[in-house]
Amino acid sequence: MSKDTKNTTIKQDPAVHIKFLPIDIPRAAVGLIGGIIFRPKKIYISDKRPSRKGGALVIANHYSYSDPLILGISMNRRMYYLAGELAMGKGLKTLGLKGCGCIGIDRNISDLDGIKRAVNVMKRGHYLLMFPQGRLHREEEMTELKSGAILMAWQANVPILPVYVKKGDKWYNRAKIVVGEEFRVSDYCEKAMPSMSDINKLTRITLDKMKECEQKYFEYFKKK
């Protein structure tokens, strides 16, 4: 993607608008029920809070199927979700997930259309949630991430927001979310377009920042 394409201005969506009611009303209903069930507890890794305006790529560990719901409830922003085509399913399931803001992407090919839709969502000022581990990983330690998150954040020219999420071990335990500090690809790479070496380096940095959130979880919540 050329630099001119990357910097193409897209008008950001308003926080409240009638056109979003078909999405926001179901989300509010699901969020109300989910909030009662999971009662998420959120802490920040530092005093530097995420910006309240503009898009961002939210990256998280993926421990359970409820992670998207918990994060959608907790972030207090209109959030879209990147999901594999197999997870999107067919028929009513597909319609339901799209209605909740899921963007299907085929992991087996270079799905340029899906990537473009995801990038445009962030350019329009929304959060996009991505699980860079790919699929469910129930192991406690995060060891590897997919590098696609870096390019998507660079293309959208938005910050990356690392978080760590863990639902309660028992039904009566609250879900926990640790929110890290936003950072941009340009903080570590000033080139017009990052090279493969830059992307690999940034992927390792991203993993380290996610591990910071994980460590904060064990330091804070395990003492409770």
For residue range 91-103, list pLDDT tens digits in order: 666 666 666 677 8
Supply 153's token pair: 């954040």
Q: How confident is the model at residue 204 (pLDDT cuts 50, 70, 90)?
A: very high
Helix axes 148-156, 196-220, angle to 10 degrees: 100
- pLDDT, one tens digit per residue, over 104-143 is 777 655 667 878 889 999 999 999 999 988 776 666 667 6
Pairing of strands 102-105, 56-60: unpaired
Are 174 and 157 in contact by the 8 Å Cβ rule? The answer is: no
CATH of domain 42-220: 3.40.1130.10
| pTM (predicted TM-score) | 0.84
DSSP helix/strand/coil, 102: strand
Distance CA 46, CA 64 (A): 26
Q: How confident is the model at residue 4 (pLDDT cuts 50, 70, 90)?
A: very low
| pLDDT for position 45 | 94
In this prediction, residues 148-173 reach a mean pLDDT of 92
Angle at 56 between CA 143 and CA 54, to 5 degrees: 165
Supply 35's token pair: 């909030």
